[in-house]
Chain A
Amino acid sequence: MVFRRIPWLTFAAPRNFHVLVQVLVPWLVGGAVVLAVAGLYTSFFVAPPDYQQGNSYRILFIHVPAAWMGMFIYLLMAVYGVIHLVWRIRLADMMARSLAPTGALMTFMALWTGALWGAPTWGTYWVWDARLTSTLVLLFLYLGYMALRTAVDDRENGARAASLLALVGAINVPIIYFSVEWWHTLHQGMSVTLTSAPTMAPSMFTALLLMTGACWLYCAAIALRRAQVEVLEREAETQWVRDLIRDGDSRTWDRNATVADARGTIREEGRS
């Protein structure tokens, strides 16, 4: 079978991906540190205290980016899952797999910081608010995804099962969100909501943006690194990994990579 060369799949070949990660991760980590320092400085020393909540609101500079990342990463995971299911590109699955712990961590952070913020603001660590509840459900979805992966013996089958679960979960996330929102308005529980927050001072907005950027870069770096480790582990028998171990770092990539490389079907040639 002749595979048409698709340039955008260059980095889906394990070897090229490895090189890409080697190049990208230092920049991502550096960027994350710079943005985090700038963001933390702005949020602690530049942004003014809130006229209602005092200083306790500052935890939102971590809370909000974490909540965004938690949701976004689940969506991204589902997209990678679809790519894996449809085109059988293994790297997509490795990315999805690497994203899951980070996404779960972000979701957990969002819940935790939310609880800490809720204590002084609402007077309680936990309320069955629509957002809190759906974030909790999101955490369960992450946990189910990871648990299913580890429970299936065959790695490839586990990967496909988990990809399908991520897809089903992603379709359900908005349904869960709306039903919980609706449930909340029906039960008339809390009167304080995040949506009715007062308008933001520009410095607050800047701090939020910086922290969001830091979160993005951190998640990208950690997920890429984790996927890289996974790639090396799975490809441990291949020639290029052996060369890598023998010769140290290699920074050249194979520009002729094809979709077959990405699927790992012609890798057998390189196997000794």
Chain B
Amino acid sequence: MNAKKERVPGNGLGGRIINALDDDRLSQFAIPVVSIILTILAAAALLLVLGKNPATAMTGFLRGSGFMMKPIYGGGQSMLTDFLSFLGILAPMLLAALGIIIGMKSGMFNIGMAGQMLAAGFIATVFVGYSGLNAYLAKPLVILLGILTGGLIGAIIGFLKYRFNIHEVVSSIMFNYIISYIVAFFINTYYKDIITRSSRVCSAASRLSITGVTWGTSKLTLPLGIILALAGVFLVKFLLDRTVVGFEMKAVGLNRDCAKYAGVNVGKSIILAMALSGVFGGLAGVTYYVGYFNSIVPKELASLGYDSIAVALLGNISPIGAIFSSILITIFQKGSIYMSSTVGVPKEIASVITGILLLFSACGTYMRYLARRQRERLADKAKKEGVQ
């Protein structure tokens, strides 16, 4: 019995791509890879239209993110400085994406990531960042406050959904506004730095990074958040794949009626999932505001909170996939400043590229369909030739 699908005859590159795109196992890797290649081609075309050299622009992104040497470095700077800084901003991106993933697996869209980040970052800054506690006490406290603040907001959103059937997208967007204005009020009234017009910088002891390390001639900032983020990846994967709680969350996410029928406490599961999603939002917030930027601009929600949705989707809503997609999207976001200063393209091109990437990856099913059709066509042709 031949259960396997027929392969496209011939082993050309085209044939291999087509096979990979329509393979049950391989397609989850092949589709993102093809999307990325298409995005790079589209971005290159865009840059050409703007009259810039796409190759310099692309390497500009990599140089800016510390993946390639820049031609010259300022005092105390090196490729390693850039790379560590890249990891510093990768951490909140990955953490926020994990929060989105938990939500989506449970059938909820936590679009309020940015608000949860801001609230957690603000609370941690005010209570620990300005406290003068020593590092051994301050850093764990910052993490704890991030978890509690994010978790609490998430739980409230979940509760509103369960108890009053208020859609989580609506309530979390409202929360974004509420948090943003309250935080802005407090910063402007009590914590403003007169010169920068942002909040005062939090103490070095409280930051989730170690500053002032020297290595050779470069001054380094070691990001601690990335450890948190990578641990988070495996934690979320374990939670979803191997725990009773994760099983219930997925059941509720896929078929709420059946979950209820099977005896799952749907309300508890929804609130828990949103709380956990918020926990990761909170962690993203503290690594972002207390570790990377170290101050808060009033009335501004981090666009990273929204980019994390793109990361989660591009990574196929899987924790492991999010590692790769967050690296990719962060390269564009982080590298855009350097790229823009050397090539002269506005740095907003990074958001355009992220958008194109999302667009292509959203076409995944269509790509698979095209591949299948092409394969059938080729198989037909081969059969006909075989007959003749």
Partners in one complex: no
Tell me the A residues contacting B by CB distance below 8 Å: none
